[in-house]
Chain A
Amino acid sequence: MSSKVGVVIVTHYRLGEEFLQALQLILPEAPAFAAVAVDPNQPVEQIRQAIADKLAAAENGEGVLVLTDMFGGTPSNMSLSFLDEHHVEIVTGINLPMLVKLATLSEDKPLEELATFIKEYGQRNISVASELLPGAKA
């Protein structure tokens, strides 16, 4: 079902793990994505090593999509340092629709294409709820 591209979530504290728990609730058969919890008080080398370990484990030869919570934050900045040495793309501003989509993709996409697709999907699924509700004010 899912793409062969690996998926690793890197966030402030345990946001990523909580996202994955919510994903499992909605889709119990979702693939096991990895999450790295970054505590900014940790030594930099320890954070870097934790990300490196998850990237290595998620790599299936097709690259790894890294989802971070916010561009410019430490989890994102630390992930950026892997751009040169690994086949990774980093998409910032993770949301649950993005994860649900990644877990239910019907066809494999190459890493670069997947990154652009999932960015646009995440943006498209931010809504003013009343605009979606039938019969509500337009």
Chain B
Amino acid sequence: MSALEESFIVQGELGLHARPAGRFVNLAGRFESEISVSREDNEEWVSGRSVLSILSLAASQGTILKLRAEGPDAEEAVRALGTLLTEPRAPA
């Protein structure tokens, strides 16, 4: 069982708002690993499986988020979710 932690800068112009948060949770649910997220400036970790918890991070463009994955597919999970966080704009 491996745990992985990596930081990403939120790139979307509108920040991590409801729609990308929904996509994040959907994507997180496809991995076996336990996913948690926190702001770099705050030690509070929230579940990557709850849209409302993700939204409570209030991550705007430029916010640095820490992503933690614990489980057999931690590496793939961090890569895929990190890619989503760093998308330059909100998805259509």
Contacts and interface: CB of A to CB of B under 8 A. Distances in A.
B51 interface: yes
Given A104-B51, A125-B52, A134 B39 contact: yes
B31 to A, nearest CB: 14
Is the interface on chain A under 10, 10 to 19, 20 to 34, or 35 or more residues?
10 to 19
B5 to A, nearest CB: 20
Interface in A68-125: 97, 100-101, 104, 106, 125
A14 B89 CA distance: 31
B52 A101 contact: yes
Interface of A: 1, 25-29, 97, 100-101, 104, 106, 125, 132-135
A26 B58 contact: no
17 contacts: A1-B29, A25-B19, A26-B19, A26-B21, A26-B22, A26-B51, A27-B22, A27-B26, A28-B22, A29-B26, A97-B52, A100-B52, A101-B50, A101-B52, A104-B25, A104-B49, A132-B56
A28 B50 CA distance: 15
A104 to B, nearest CB: 6
B2 interface: no
Contacts of B52: 97, 100-101, 125
Nearest to A98: B52
